[in-house]
Amino acid sequence: MTTFPHWASEIIGQYESRAAGCFILHGNITDRMLVSNEKETRLGRLHDFLVESLLPRFEVVLSYDVGHGIQIERGGDIFSEWPSLKNYSSPLPAKPLTAIRILTHYLTYCRNLKAVGAKPPRVAIIFRQADLVCPALPHSLNYDLNALASLLRSWAVDAQLQDSGQAAFLITGQLNALHPMVTQSPRIAKVEIPVPGQVEMANALHVLAPTYPLALQNFSQDIALPAERLAGASLSSVESLLKRREYEKRPLEARDLSDLKKRLVESDCDDLIEFIEPDRNLDDVFGFDEVKTWLRQDITLWNKGEAKALPMGYLFCGPVGTGKTYLAECLAGEAGVPVVTLKNFRDKWIGSTEANLERIFALLHALGRCIVFVDEADQTLGSRQGGSDDSGVSSRVYSMMAQEMSDTRNRGKILWVLASSRPDMIEVDLKRPGRIDVKIPLFPTISAVEGFGLLRALCKKHRVPLEKDSFSELEPLIPNLLTPGSAEALAVKSYRIMTAEEIEPLAAVKLCLEDYLPSVSEEILRFQMQLAVDEATEKSFVSQEIHEILEI
């Protein structure tokens, strides 16, 4: 018996309950997937899955795309009995509106057979690249396009399709690319095809193992490890990887899997994200003891599966250079999960930005547990009002991000971490509980002792050892409100001077401090510190010394 993926089972349930007969399939539509028929189980295209696995009981299966026109996938002899077929040229017209009218005419003919007492065939129609057939064009006055969209929408009205044993599938990579008259119809079911998760990856690797025995020889007894590590990559990219390794006679190694997944996922997403497997944890963070205690408690709950006790997201706020990105990576390393950072997903083409976000969200759902890090969140997340010069893109980005961040199904799976030195510029609704539950302020050092400790820790990292007793000599030179970013720059410069001039570490550090000029003025640092204090969700995150410095 064929085991269907969740999304296919959803289609079957909607169709058999007569809730829907017309479906928009979107998301991971170009990937390979398991196709089962009476003879075999193999990897094939989505089109193969629909024809062979999902629609074997339909006597007539037709398909259409703008390149090939109308094609008969099954039941050509039945289709040829249609009396009106002789009225059309051979091959059938390929232009979208004409072709859709022909298909509409044929569906109506089949429904009329039932009305006169004849048994109609079960008919399914598949629209490949439906976004090219019926695209979303802004403020379109293209009457042929609007007529085409109206016809497709009419197919789903009054349950005509499912009540007559008919079904239609519109395949598109992104919902936003389809005409809104079609996507906004309440009678057309939208079904997302996800990126393969661990279960789907394991099933695919079992099928591929006999074909690529050498590539998978190290996992012949247990396919669970590569399935877990490669989840989130497309099956197409994994199959290509196995082909290459089999050809090179180079088996996959367990130590290779994390790096391979990083490269495959980033390639599949066209560089829209950066995938990081952290090699550090909270022990690598200097200071912030109250914050680290809080975060460690949350990680413990996460590892115990206590999803209800977990926040949906964090906001790390504070002056520039206070280590917000670094803390997010250490948090992920503590949890043992990857970090996904959003790169430049905005695009100049209409609908492309929203389509890019759809792809990113689909990937996040497939990765299992992960942390999504959004740097410069005040700029990245858009705004409710948008701008007059961006055609509403900013407001649509805001809406999509807000919806995704508040989806409670992601609790315990996707942890959002926003970072900003200007949290006041992030929309209030995005920072509310249920999206961002914990807001953590990060501050520069507030004393010479703290500054020396930070500088000493970073100098040690860069092979510039400083002894504890050197504090008295350096104390007058320690900058006020020293950030980790500035301290790191000082440590790197000290190593350069120590190596180039062949002098002692202490002398090199002293030279750097004597020549130091802050990259950010103290006025700006204090302003951004005040913003961070105003955002903090816990009193314990803000020490009394911080209050005194800011004269609160």
As a three-state string, the secondary structure of 62-129 is EEEECCCEEEEEECHHHHCCCHHHHHCCCCCCCCHHHHHHHHHHHHHHHHHHHHCCCCCCCEEEEECC
Residue 319 has a pLDDT of 93
Query: Domain range for residue 12?
Result: 6-193
Secondary structure string (H, E, C) spanning 442-461:
CCCCCCHHHHHHHHHHHHHH
Q: pLDDT digit string (tens) for 505-549?
A: 999 999 999 999 988 899 999 999 999 999 999 998 998 989 888
Residue 359 has a pLDDT of 79
Number of Cβ within a 10 Å radius of residue 56: 13
| Statement to judge: residues 350 and 488 lie in one domain | no
Contacts 24+ apart (CB under 8 A), 523-531: 524/319, 525/319, 525/444, 525/481, 525/483, 526/481, 526/550, 528/318, 528/319, 528/320, 528/421, 528/422, 529/318, 529/319, 529/441, 529/443, 529/444, 529/481, 531/317, 531/421, 531/422, 531/423, 531/424
Q: Are 95 and 135 in contact (CB under 8 A)?
A: no
- Global pTM reads 0.71
In a domain, 519, yes or no: no
Enumerate the H helices of 156-275 as residue ranges.
Answer: 160-163, 180-183, 198-208, 224-230, 235-248, 257-268
| Statement to judge: residues 354 and 481 lie in one domain | no
In a domain, 531, yes or no: no
In a domain, 171, yes or no: yes
Last residue of a domain, one of 419, 441, 463: 441
In a domain, 97, yes or no: yes
Query: How far is it, in rounded angstroms, from Cα 46 to Cα 194?
Result: 12
| Statement to judge: residues 499 and 374 lie in one domain | no
Which residue's entry shows tokens 């501050």? 443
Tell me the percentage of the chain whose pLDDT exceeds 70: 95
Q: What is the mean pLDDT of residues 290-308?
A: 90
| Statement to judge: residues 187 and 237 lie in one domain | no
Q: What is the mean pLDDT of residues 31-36?
A: 92
Secondary structure string (H, E, C) spanning 385-427:
CCCCCCCCHHHHHHHHHHHHHCCHHHCCCEEEEEEECCHHHCC
| Statement to judge: residues 260 and 313 lie in one domain | no
3-state helix, strand, coil in the chain (%, to 5): 50, 15, 35
Q: Are 187 and 20 in contact (CB under 8 A)?
A: yes
Residue 39 has a pLDDT of 82
Number of Cβ within a 10 Å radius of residue 352: 16
Q: Judging by beta carbons within 10 Å of its beta carbon (0-12, 13-18, 19+), is residue 80 exposed, middle or buried?
A: exposed
Q: pLDDT: is 315 or 256 the higher one?
A: 315
Q: pLDDT digit string (tens) for 130-189?
A: 999 998 876 566 788 888 888 888 888 766 788 888 999 999 988 888 888 898 888 899
Identify which of 168, 158, 201, 539 has the alpha carbon closest to the alpha carbon of residue 368.
Answer: 201
Contacts 24+ apart (CB under 8 A), 498-503: 498/464
For 436-453, letters b (16+ CB in 10 Å) and e give bbbbbbbbbbbebebbbb
In a domain, 202, yes or no: yes
Bridge partners (DSSP) of residue 63 are 71, 126
Whether pLDDT at 442 is above 90: yes
Residue 396 has a pLDDT of 79
| Statement to judge: residues 167 and 206 lie in one domain | no
Q: How many domains does the chain have?
A: 4
In a domain, 530, yes or no: no
Whether pLDDT at 459 is above 90: yes
Residue 210 has a pLDDT of 93
Tell me, what CATH number does 411's domain have?
3.40.50.300
| Statement to judge: residues 85 and 177 lie in one domain | yes
Bridge partners (DSSP) of residue 167 are 124
Query: How far is it, in rounded angstroms, from Cα 109 to Cα 243?
Result: 48
Kindly report the backbone phi and psi dihedral angles of residue 508, in degrees, each rounded to the nearest multiple of 5, phi listed first: -65, -45
Q: Judging by beta carbons within 10 Å of its beta carbon (0-12, 13-18, 19+), is residue 514 exposed, middle or buried?
A: exposed
Chain CA centroid to CA 507, Å: 49
Q: Are 506 and 420 in contact (CB under 8 A)?
A: no
Query: How far is it, in rounded angstroms, from Cα 405 to Cα 415?
Result: 9
| Statement to judge: residues 341 and 455 lie in one domain | no
Provide the pLDDT confidence category of residue 40 given band limits of 50, 70 and 90: confident
Whether pLDDT at 469 is above 80: yes
Identify which of 468, 463, 467, 470 has the alpha carbon closest to the alpha carbon of residue 495.
Answer: 463
Residue 273 DSSP SS3: strand
Q: pLDDT digit string (tens) for 72-121?
A: 999 999 999 999 998 888 888 889 999 999 999 999 999 898 888 888 99
Residue 1 has a pLDDT of 44
Mean pLDDT for the chain overall: 88
386 torsion bin: left (phi>0), alpha (psi -120 to 50), beta (else)? left
Query: How far is it, in rounded angstroms, from Cα 373 to Cα 275?
Result: 10
In a domain, 227, yes or no: yes
| Statement to judge: residues 148 and 217 lie in one domain | no
Last residue of a domain, one of 193, 219, 245: 193
Number of Cβ within a 10 Å radius of residue 248: 10
| Statement to judge: residues 421 and 305 lie in one domain | yes
Last residue of a domain, one of 268, 286, 320: 268
| Statement to judge: residues 213 and 288 lie in one domain | no
Q: What is the mean pLDDT of residues 215-219?
A: 91
| Statement to judge: residues 159 and 263 lie in one domain | no
Q: Are 482 and 446 in contact (CB under 8 A)?
A: no
Strands (E), 300-398: 313-317, 339-342, 370-374
Q: pLDDT digit string (tens) for 346-404?
A: 766 556 777 788 878 877 877 778 889 988 888 877 777 655 555 667 787 888 888 88
In a domain, 66, yes or no: yes
Query: How far is it, in rounded angstroms, from Cα 369 to Cα 347?
Result: 28
